[in-house]
Amino acid sequence: MSKCTFCGREEDEKTVFVGGYEILESCTDCKEEIEKEDKEMTFLDLLKSNLELDCDLIIGDVDMPASFVWTEEDKITDYGIQKYEEIMKSKYTILSNSNIEIHCENHILGADFCYAAAGYISSTEYEKIFVHD
């Protein structure tokens, strides 16, 4: 028995991943709604959505140097939002391989953000940017 993590419906059928959700192949309405939301949401909205992410990020057409992992306990602080504002305000696309392309040209800031999220910065700076509930 498989379950759509978007609407909660359960059926005996295959699932596919769309926008961070595992949905039933027959949940075409869910797929359309997820894709619509993804087009309207910023990367900050995605982070605040409590979706668990484990993927690579592409920013400014550049593959980022560290994988991105985000759990429902992870939060970004106001300081972090301001520091990475250009990325946070950007729209994004979740690719078919579940990686995320952030529509921001500043790949230098993107690499800085990825290194920070992966913990490759001082613990003092990390705690100013991220909170784990």
pLDDT at 39: 65
pLDDT at 16: 87
**Per-residue tokens: 58:** 């592409």
pTM for the predicted model, two decimal places = 0.73
Q: Where along the chain do its domains lie?
A: 1-38, 41-132
pLDDT at 21: 81
Instruction: Report mean pLDDT in 10-residue bins for the chain, 133 residues.
Output: 88 84 88 76 91 94 95 96 97 88 96 97 97 88
